[in-house]
Amino acid sequence: MQPYLRPDLDRLQAYHTPHFPEADKLDANELPHDLPEWLKNKLAFLLEQGVRTNRYPEGDPLALKAAIAEYCGVTSDMVCVGNGSDELIRSLITATCLGGRGTVASAEPTFSMYRILAETLAVPYVGVARTADYGVDADALEAVIQANGVRVLFLANPNSPTGNLLSDEIIERLGSLPVLVVLDEAYYEFSRFSAVPLLWERPNLVILRTFSKAFRLANFRVGYALANPEIAAVLEKVRLPYNLPGLSQLAAFAALEHRDVLLAAIPEILAERRRIERFLADFEEIERFASDANFLFVRPHTADPEAVRVALAGRGSLVRGAAGGLRITVGTPEQNDRLIANIAALFTREIR
């Protein structure tokens, strides 16, 4: 390691994703559908007519913020946009903990970027273990917050990789915690549960959302945070200039404009999730967990989960290994048929 690089970065790994171009991609919780062709054509037209590529994009995209505010039922001064919600997670850590000011906490297993982004900023991170059914233990959380100087708590709701929502009791308890509470609602369009109504009574609450999942825009990297205007203004101070490319701004705006069409795919995704759940119910050796999102978390008990993941990938169904189990994104009906056939073959079962 060169002497001017931080030695603590030595043990970190760059974020890599497996490359299986032939396989059904059920490993990143994206929607399996591309944008409709007419909407892509509209974006291409807008790019041609409305974007000067030699100019920086809008630094503070007010029209997009207004559209997001309207979609979420908040005011524009409560909205910040980021290059994926990943960028906003980093901004939140910068705004609360950087420079030895405090610790980041989360309840694990959960979305890995809370820990990774804290580590890249050399900010201490503490993960509180979830309960056996992946709920959050509020007493344990409180104890950890007090003992570690925690200033920001990230909770994914629904959680990834486990798919479950926080209980009402936990949401209630979060209101009295002396930290910034960030509820990450990346899968809101599937769960339909949101803490947005609490924003007005809880000044320590931030909500994260993304266009990467239900809105089919993972390629464009658009996320947003909702918070009271004071917090939103601070997030604006720590973001990079021109953080959202012009085409991404146009795509997010168009996705909201045509949300009736795009979000109409969700009932089928949820029905397909129930179909996969019903299929898996026949396997005592595969433990399943209830999901409120577009993916399922399972734990095979008679086989090494990593070996199952590799075998499924070899058969053409690429799922994600996580938390000692597998996280399976719901795909198209055809992709799900192949997943079901592949699981049946691996666990030598007839498909009924």
Ligand X SMILES: Cc1ncc(COP(=O)(O)O)c(C=O)c1O
Query: How many alpha carbons fall within 13 Å on the CB side of residue 283?
Result: 26
- The upper half-sphere exposure of residue 61, i.e. CA atoms within 13 Å in the direction of its Cβ, equals 28
Distance in Å, CB of 117 to ligand X, minimum: 11
Degrees (nearest 5) of the Cα angle 313, 318, 323?
100
Minimum CB separation of residue 266 from ligand X in Å reads 16
How many whole angstroms separate alpha carbon 179 and alpha carbon 333?
A: 43
Cβ closest to ligand X, residue 34 vs residue 285: 34
Q: How far is the CB of 188 from ligand X (least distance, A)?
A: 10
165 vs 279, beta carbon nearer ligand X: 165
95 vs 207, which CB is nearer to ligand X? 207
Residue 324 beta carbon to ligand X: minimum distance, rounded to whole angstroms: 18
Find the helix or strand (DSSP H, E) in which 295 lies: strand 295-300
Task: Enter the tokens of residue 195.
Answer: 């803490």
The residue ranges that bind ligand X (CB under 6 A) are: 29, 84-86, 111, 156, 160, 184, 186, 210, 212, 218, 223
Minimal distance, residue 82 CB to ligand X, in Å: 8
**Burial class of residue 281 in the structure, from the number of CB atoms within 10 Å of its CB (0-12 exposed, 13-18 middle, 19+ buried):** exposed
Q: Which lies closer to ligand X via its Cβ, residue 86 or residue 279?
A: 86
Instruction: Name the helix (H) or strand (E) containing 158.
Output: none
- In the bound complex, what is the minimum distance in angstroms from residue 36's beta carbon to ligand X? 21
Q: How far is the CB of 159 from ligand X (least distance, A)?
A: 7
Distance linking the first and last C-alpha atoms of the chain: 56
Instruction: Of 331, 346, 343, 329, give the one whose Cα is nearest residue 160.
Output: 329
- How far, in Å, CA of 205 to CA of 74, rounded? 14
CB nearer to ligand X: give 240 or 281.
240
The torsion angle over the Cα atoms of residues 250, 251, 255 and 256, rounded to 10 degrees, is -30
Residue closer to ligand X by CB (options 160, 243) is 160
Cβ(112)–Cβ(156) under 8 Å?
A: no
Give the residue with the Cβ less far from ligand X, 85 or 249. Answer: 85
CB nearer to ligand X: pick between 309 and 320: 320
Minimum CB–partner distance for residue 346 and ligand X (Å): 25
How long a stretch of residues is the chain?
Answer: 352
Do strands 317-318 and 24-25 pair parallel, antiparallel, or not at all (unpaired)?
parallel
The one-character DSSP state at 207 is E
**Nearest-CB residue to ligand X?**
84
- For Cα atoms 290, 295, 297, give the angle at the middle one, nearest 5 degrees: 55
